[in-house]
A and B are shown apart, each in its own frame.
Chain A
């Protein structure tokens, strides 16, 4: 069993930054949510080819004084919550190779 986790933003959502908050509406159920700055970093880095753990290590830990395991636990909970509304998609494999951008697919 693998612990690897990849996340990618759904194309079914609407999103806009409002000051320091990211406002997102789920296309699936019209749920409106806002993300704080930490969650926004994860959401913006969810490119489908970078592991969630790597996003936490490279973007969250250096920016916030947080212990990596704790940050990863929170990031997993966030990803599960967003996936529940169809805002993020989750997989244990990359959605596409890291050398291939989403736009070029």
Chain B
């Protein structure tokens, strides 16, 4: 993050401005990825008029970074109308898509509307692996054709590779593909529980041995010595810092208008169909509660050796039952990374470790200034 962006993030935090918002336009999708956390039925998406009204409210609230995601955004027939409206309001727009529906005409339109970047999910360089994850034959070919088209139009493209047991061995191949295509490559080793609380898809997470190998890939993490080194001692700055920007300078809005602190933090905090966004942002009791949390008041994590360097996600902790509790998936990640068990893991009965889920932080959703040991790899690709 540039110094100026850090300064602006700090300013947004001070002024309580939601600098970054992810807006999911739909949960409908033309792929059926095995690890997806969404219910793809349409339970009453916001209309075009409702979304335009919301965009006006977001601009008024000071939102600068707007991520449009889904579901597959291009399944909305009004997608380009919404995108054009958002750009007229001068949002810095990032699109997340599987790109299967992007052809020459769509690529040209996206370029002409001044979209900042497009992130496309690619799970393998091998069609048989990628297509088995999306469950759509030919999907890798179509997604890669779209990557080339978007690049040819001068757009910034990122390939996002979610790691799971089906494709863990393929990330070097995807990275080589990204290099060949001249696009950014990111991996995301986090499988998120389903929105309805179903945790069965966590079984797709990579096992600790494979994850340790990823953590020791210096092309991904930078200095392995630093990344996997012993945790730093907790100080007052750590204890008084905010866990992440969720609810502080960032939030998530579902296709149905529900506001949450983050896409990975499903704490219902209001609905823009009933209440103006700014009213929710400023006065929601739930968001206020999230904002009140510092490391110091977390009973277990404030006493943990990993407290200063853990990538603890309050949303994952919430999904485990207590947003002030530990996120076991991050505890396990810290253990795999350093070989040192967290306080939470030590308090458990002796057992074999469960599947590990890495959950780093979205760039904009980790603004507390607390030092974190990771390089590029564990940074979660959202928002």
Could you list which residues of chain A lie within 8 angstroms of chain B, going by C-beta atoms?
Answer: 11-19, 21, 23, 25, 27, 30, 32-34
Contacts and interface: CB of A to CB of B under 8 A. Distances in A.
Given A16-B62, A16-B63, A27 B11 contact: no
Contacts, number: 49
Nearest to B90: A15
A14 B87 CA distance: 8
Contacts of A17: 62
A14 B92 contact: yes
Contact of B64 (A12, A23, A27, A30): A23
A34 B3 CA distance: 12
21 contacts: A11-B114, A13-B90, A14-B64, A14-B116, A15-B90, A16-B59, A16-B62, A16-B90, A18-B8, A18-B12, A18-B15, A18-B62, A18-B64, A19-B11, A19-B15, A21-B8, A21-B11, A23-B64, A27-B116, A32-B8, A34-B4
B93 interface: yes
Nearest to A24: B90
A14 B93 contact: yes
Contacts of B11: 18-19, 21
A92 B92 CA distance: 30
A40 to B, nearest CB: 13
A14 B8 contact: no
Contact of A30 (B15, B87, B156): B156
A34 B90 CA distance: 15
Contacts of A18: 8, 11-12, 15, 17, 19, 62, 64
A23 B116 CA distance: 15
A55 B63 CA distance: 28
Size class of the contact patch on chain B = 20 to 34
A19 B16 CA distance: 10
Nearest to B58: A16
Interface in B94-119: 114, 116
B86 to A, nearest CB: 10
B308 to A, nearest CB: 29
B91 interface: yes
B49 interface: no
Interface in B40-88: 59, 62-64, 87
Q: Across chains A and B, which 6 residue pairs bring their CB atoms closest together, nearest first?
A: A14-B92, A16-B64, A15-B90, A12-B114, A27-B114, A32-B4
Nearest to B65: A14
A86 to B, nearest CB: 11
Q: Is the interface of A mostly helix, strand, loop or mixed?
A: strand
Given A27-B114, A32-B2, A34-B8, A14 B156 contact: no
Given A14-B90, A14-B114, A18-B11, 5 more contacts: A14-B64, A15-B90, A18-B12, A32-B4, A33-B4
> Of B11, B19, B59, B63, which is in contact with the most chain A CB atoms at under 10 Å from its CB?
B11
Contacts of A34: 4, 8
A52 B59 CA distance: 27
B5 interface: yes
A34 B8 CA distance: 9
Nearest to B93: A14
Contacts of A25: 64, 92, 116
Contacts of B87: 11
Contacts of A15: 90
Contacts of A19: 11, 15, 17
Contacts of B4: 32-34
